[in-house]
Structures are given as structure tokens and as C-alpha cells.
Structure 1
Amino acid sequence: MSTEPQLDAPFIYLASQSPRRRQLLDQIGVRHELLLPDPQEDAEALEAERAGESPEDYVQRVTLAKWEAARLRLARRQASQDLPAAPVLCADTTVAIGPDILAKPVDQPDAARMLARLSGRTHRVLTAVVVDGNLLLSTSHVTWRALGADEIDRYVASGEPMGKAGAYAIQSQAAAWMQKIEGSYSGIMGLPLYETAELLRPLGWRF
């Protein structure tokens, strides 16, 4: 449920539909109000990859583009709905193996292909977070044990991979495959809390 902002209490606008990001903000006590795209906005177009772009450059560019779209969205709504001013937070997560970006799978075979690539090796999870134009990047390394084809098939059939970068969620049954994590667990979930707190401290938040 959305946290209702009060004019006498600090809050942020969260431009994300991810329930995990809302959960993580609640964890560190950051009040937030959703700032979701208008029906006419093509939010998915902002995630289009560019030839030759590194995963690190990609996730930072996309996050900044989403923040700019959210900032303009807020300005429109303030003009028509008299919304209070508050910082805007955006984040984006991608999974990478070397120079290759493993984005959200387009269908079940694509999800199975991604999971097979992750099997038995180490990959990077990159999450960029922006608050009022200031950006920080969290990079984590995740090592999986080798997976059998039947395990991949069962996970794909569960529907969990769809809509997830790299075709998995760390807070799902896929956690049983992870031998080692180096970096930020919350960043792998979708919102690195250390970086988020560092961006909010200059704006008056205390943790």
C-alpha cells in the first residue's frame, strides 16, 4: 500500500512499479509516494539497448532517462493536481556476463536461455539509483552452481523469471542456486540501500 505523504514529514516520490523497491524503502524508514508513468508514456522504450554500450553505461543511462521522465511527469501533475514538492528516486537493475546484458526475458525460451548462461558461473548485477539527478552505481557479483535442465524448466514454468533482469529474483527459489554473493544483497533485489541512503543524507534524511 502506498505511504501517504504528509506536508510536515519528509517523503520521496518513487518512480517504480517494483514492490521490492517499496519494501526496501520501508526497511530503512523512507516515506514514499508512487509516481508511475501516465498511460501515454512508453516506459519500456527507455530500456532499449544501444549497440556497443557496456552494461554499466546502459544501466546508468536508462536510470537517468527514467528519472528525467519522472521529473517531467511530476511537473505536469503538480500543475494540475497541486502535488507537494519532494525528491524523485529512480532505479534500474540489469544482469551482465562480460559485455553482454541479460535484460528481462521476452518469453519462456528466452528465460531458459538466460538461466543456462548463468549456470555454473559468476555474473554481475548492476543497479543504478538516482535521487534528484545524482546517481550512484552498485555492482555485485553472484556465483551460481551448475544447474540441471530439469531445474531450469521447473523454474521457468513457475513464471518467476518473467519481468526480471537475468530471468531470476534473488528472493525467490533461485536463491538455492547461489554459492556466493559479493556486494549488495539489496542492490541485487533492485535498490542498493547503502547508495540510496548516501543520496538521501544530503537532503536531510538520517538513518
Structure 2
Amino acid sequence: MDLILASASPRRSELLDQIGVSYRCEPADIDESRRDGEKPGDYVLRMAREKAAAVAARHGGEQIAVLAADTSVVIDEDVLGKPADRFEGLGMLARLSGRSHSVLTGLCLHTPEGGSEGELVETRVEFIQLSREMCEAYLATDEPWDKAGGYGIQGLAGAFVSSIEGSYSNVVGLPLAQTWRLLSARGIAGALEVKSE
């Protein structure tokens, strides 16, 4: 069965490549607004389901599977999206400085036979204390601007992380263990497929 990754994220593509899965990318392009009073976990799961459904609807009748994910950085029940400007980026880094936060990813796999199956993955990340100068230097790079919470753990901001509890790949944008489990349960295992004798 062909697999579509409902994302334009280069990081998600790199992670899926890492486990040897064949796929093509097709962004969902949906409204990603959070509803009033919607809990962060409910929000990312809804986004993943809606992304998968939107792409699957374009391919009605075809034997394709659609994998979708949505990742948010959460602190004090507030969802931190991608910073719009330097001021917002500074505010995000100041909130994360010296504290622990959650990275939540909603994951959804849609197949014609099995419908949609979703999963919520949480990773706890703790930052060191960041000085204003460190934040300014980081925001002067290209790295923070297209990332939830205004940082990329796989890049320079890896130096900000004092501890991590849970999936590292989840913080990058796609929890690999959970993704592989969802895919292999539907017969889409890629390079990790176990051949029967």
C-alpha cells in the first residue's frame, strides 16, 4: 500500500527516511486554529486526524495510507506555536528557560480498510537557565522560526536541554517507535519489516 506523509516538514521526512519507509509528501493545508478551551492533547490529536482525513479525501477509492502528525510545545497549559517575530521568540525562550515543558505530538494513520487510528505522545524536556544574550544569539540564526516553541532540539538548541524524558524523535517532530508500531500493524513496515519463513 502506498503511503502519503501529510506534511511538508523536512524533519518529519528525515525521520521517516530513518526507518526505511517509502512514502511521498502531500501537505494537508487545513485550518490549524485551536478551539476555545481545547486542551493541548486534544488539539494536536484533532489536528493529526484532520490532516489525515483531508489528504485521504483527495484520494477516495485509492489504496493509500495517510500518516499525519501535529506537534506542539506546551508550558503551563499554553500551546507555543512557531514564533512570528523576534519579540515573540524571546518571550517563548524566556518562558522555557530553567523550566520543564511538554512536547506533545498527535499521530494519526488512515487506511481505507482500517479507518483512522490515533495516538498521543508526550515528552518532557527541561531547559537550562538561558541568559538574554544566549536567547538573542539563538534568535539571530535561521533555526527557531519554523519550529513549535521557537527551538529545534536537533540543532543549536540541543545545548539548552539539560534533561529529556521520553521520545527524542517526538521533540524533533515524529515519534519513531509509535510511528513504526502504527505502520507495521497495517503492513507498512519498510526496512524493519520482519519476513516470515
Same fold (TM over 0.5): yes
Which string of whole-angstrom CA distances, capped at 9 and with x for unpartnered residues, describes residues 147-189 of structure 1? 0001101111113111210001111100001000000011111
Task: Return the match for 1:196 from 172, 179, 186.
Answer: 179
Matches within 5 A, 1:89-128: 89-128=67-106
Instruction: State the 1:35 CA deviation.
Output: 1.7
Name the SS of the counterpart of 2:188 in structure 1: coil
Please list every run of 5 or more consecutive structure 1 residues that lacks an aligned counterpart in the other structure.
1-9, 79-83
Contact 1:35 1:74 in 2 (8 A): no
Distance in 2, matches of 1:137 and 1:36, equals 20
Name the SS of the counterpart of 2:154 in structure 1: coil
Contact 2:46 2:106 in 1 (8 A): no
Distance in 2, matches of 1:74 and 1:14, equals 13
Aligned residue identity for 1:62:
M
Distance in 2, matches of 1:172 and 1:199, equals 28
**Number of residues paired by the alignment?**
185
Identity among equivalent pairs (%): 43
Distance in 2, matches of 1:11 and 1:22, equals 15
Aligned residue identity for 2:44:
V
CA RMSD of aligned residues (A): 1.5
> Which has the bigger relative contact order, CA under 8 A and spacing at least 6?
2
Distance in 1, matches of 2:188 and 2:63, equals 16
Instruction: State the 1:98 CA deviation.
Output: 2.4
Contact 1:170 1:189 in 2 (8 A): yes
Matches within 5 A, 1:1-207: 10-37=1-28, 42-43=29-30, 45=31, 47-75=32-60, 85-132=63-110, 133-206=116-189, 207=192
Instruction: State the 1:36 CA deviation.
Output: 2.8
Higher mean displacement: 139-148 or 129-138:
129-138
Contact 2:2 2:63 in 1 (8 A): no
Aligned residue identity for 2:72:
T
Aligned residue identity for 1:106:
A
Q: TM-score, normalised by structure 1?
A: 0.85
Which string of whole-angstrom CA distances, capped at 9 and with x for unpartnered residues, describes residues 62-119 of structure 1? 11111111112233xx7xxxxx622100001000012111111122211111011000
Which string of whole-angstrom CA distances, capped at 9 and with x for unpartnered residues, describes residues 37-66 of structure 1? 4xxxx53x2x11112111111111111111
Give runs of ≥4 in structure 1 deviating > 6 Å.
Answer: none
Distance in 2, matches of 1:64 and 1:88, equals 10
